[in-house]
Structure 1
């Protein structure tokens, strides 16, 4: 259970944490500690009349942890965990042998909602990422996952721990790249939001 507060009031609400994020709330070395900012989407509310004495948010699989590169702990996390792998280092053979990757890239564009499938019932969104070497890959969101794109913004940096590595052909993606990235059952996302620098006007 996490207790969440918002920016604009003193209101708080409890969230039942999804089991895929339990390790993030470990009291010894988990990143979810008091003061940590997160983005959530796909949440449902359990009202007080349905159980306990106050309303709570039900578990969601769509949680993104915000990082600040100016904070020492966050900068150390990014440097230690997300600087070894690049898009060019990804190998499908290595993936098939059980290797996983931790990737860091800038969000270059967020595509519009597409409809896939035999009966046009499957939704998909493509997010184009570019890493520090200038290599681009598509990050695909399927079905209910498309709501995650609402948490992203062009120019922000996305850190992906254990993204699912898919073959572009298998994902019905028209791309010159052999592979694409997807939000898998073990994937954890971290976001360094893009901050627009205000222009300095001198008189």
Structure 2
């Protein structure tokens, strides 16, 4: 896996497979609608345009091959059911928060859990001046972990200084502690309005 893929995972959960499947289903539906429009408008001949949707020739063939028609319908139904269940489970599965294995030597294994990593980075991030609270999530894979950080800033906070402190202290310390050269991180900044004074 490349660092580019790890950076994309840090920015947000990927729904590429779901989007591809949705586009394919939409394309098939559009093509079927276009074909029905072309036939209905009589562009392929008026005779075809006036024929019923359930073509008598096709119905006669189905009546003459009932067994094959049933087998085909059952196979198609099972395939659609499996595809639908796979799509549903893939869409509903929770995002992975992998642990980081620093040492896999037998008898001396060292693993940093995703919760511990996120908690340590969150604690450091909340010490940055101007940050009122922080939320950190460990994402990515076991081989290439990444971080997703959300910072809530107080009013009047200088964003440039927060960014410099975050990169120069928090993320540098996390990389050094984990012994990694790169730690893809997506940072989201928001204005904390929870403590706003009431207007009287």
TM-score range for the pair, normalised by the shorter chain length: under 0.3
Between Structure 1 and Structure 2, which shows a larger proportion of helix residues? Answer: 2
Query: TM-score if structure 2 supplies the norm length?
Result: 0.24
Q: Highest Rg: 1 or 2?
A: 2
Structure with the bigger RCO (C-alpha within 8 Å, sep 6+) is 2
Query: TM-score if structure 1 supplies the norm length?
Result: 0.24
Between Structure 1 and Structure 2, which shows a larger proportion of strand residues? Answer: 1
